Amino acid sequence: MKPVLPFPFQKRILIAVSGGIAAYKICEVISTLAKAGAEVRAILTDSAQQFITPLTIATLCRHQVYTDADFWLPTHGRPLHIQLGEWAELFVIAPLTANSLAKISVGMADNLLTNTLLASSCPVLLVPAMNRQMWQQSIVQQNWQQVLSDGRFHGIAPVAGVLACDLPAEESEGWQVGSGRMAEPRQILACIESLVQTGGKRDLVGKGVLVSAGGTREHLDPVRFIGNPSTGKMGLAVAQAAVHRGARVTLVQAAMSAELLALLPDEVEVVSVTSAEQMRRAMLERFAQADITVMTAAVGDVQPLDYCDRKLSKADLPTVLPLKHCADILAELGKIKQPPQFLVGFAAQTGDILTPALGKLKAKNLDVIVANPVDKPNAGFGSDTNTATLINQAGKQVNIEGCSKLTLAHHLFNFLETVKK
């Protein structure tokens, strides 16, 4: 799955690379940003150059790379760290080593990276990578929490995975796995996109966001089902956006791939279901604790009247399949919604998308409906991009054309601010 960013992504992004084997991952991040139209500048520490060359990064940035050798050169203009700090609209440090983290936590300025950081005022994204025992040290965790307590700093904590510095376990067990592995490029890019969209604001801190995603499956027997093409990408984007804005997020998902679920921030609570009834129960159990509920899931409308617990032979398959209606989860939530809860629905439509969406908005007591054409290119089920019209109860409409699903999710949270409770 290729990373997706809105185009043109005309932002000035400064990326600093400190020393660690994970430095190779930043190449994909820089390449994707540059291809999307961003202006990218890079700083490499002396230790970073032991893992990746300035020429590699300069080629991907399409611009000179800055090192400590440039920092200490005499200049007749303004100091380099001042120029870079004022130029940047977003500062990314990846990989962030324990050494650089410690320096940042106490405000040290002993190289180009740390001096530039102190000379800047834009949001900063920190992406650590280190040996698992180093990451778990109490002093490292104290430094991490101290830095993140400053609202200017945002972080993606290391994830569990095979680390280059770990010794192999028994041959039959493979390599040891531990926390310390740097986040994958697609996760870093998602956080960059969110920070660009929000300017670093955390307007959902203290809020609980409940999201449904994917497509339910109504089984006839253990191997056959009635389903739909929903992949859960829109729900993933809503969950990512909510976490990036500071919310506590629960995702109730059906039939999402392991590849997509791996892109969720670690903070997201994931509840896995299969059928519409299972999703109904999961949503009802958690709805009262949610400040905002967003139903992106494509929930089945009908299910087989009868279920067989063994695979039916071809000869036993009915030529006419009796059906019964599934529960309408969104309508049920709309009936029990209490102020100041917000309830958002999605209307996946073909042809005229507004008329049925408006009907759904009123009939199901929603605060906002997202009218989503699924018969247009690069929109709807399975697409990485989307097009939609956002509508609130007062009749206000905002058209969102051709953007990534993560950007659409941020437009949705911004639009919720127009809804008065």
H or E segment and range at residue 233: helix 233-244
Whole-angstrom Cα distance, residue 142 to residue 131? 17
The SS3 call for residue 239 is helix
Furthest CA-CA distance within the chain: 86
Tokens representing residue 214 in the block: 């994917």
Whole-angstrom Cα distance, residue 357 to residue 346? 8
Q: Which of 165, 191, 326, 403 is catalytic?
A: 165
Best CA proximity match to 369, nearest among 352, 388, 350: 388
Whole-angstrom Cα distance, residue 395 to residue 213? 26
Q: State yes or no: is 122 an active-site residue.
A: no
DSSP result, 3-72? ----SS---EEEEEE-SSGGGGGHHHHHHHHHHTT-EEEEEE-TTGGGTS-HHHHHHHHTSPEEEHHHHT
Q: Please, what is the Cα angle at 91 between 250 and 406, to 5 degrees?
A: 35
Best CA proximity match to 211, nearest among 260, 156, 248, 169: 248
Whole-angstrom Cα distance, residue 417 to residue 246? 16
359 Cβ neighbours under 8 A, 6+ residues apart: none
Q: How far is CA 312 from CA 235, 304, 306, 317, 318, in A?
A: 34, 14, 12, 6, 10
Strands 248-254 and 208-214: parallel
> Is the bond preceding 339 in cis, omega lying within 30 degrees of 0?
no
Tokens representing residue 72 in the block: 């200490």
Tell me, what amino acid is at 129?
A: A
H or E segment and range at residue 99: helix 98-106
Q: Which residues are catalytic?
A: 165
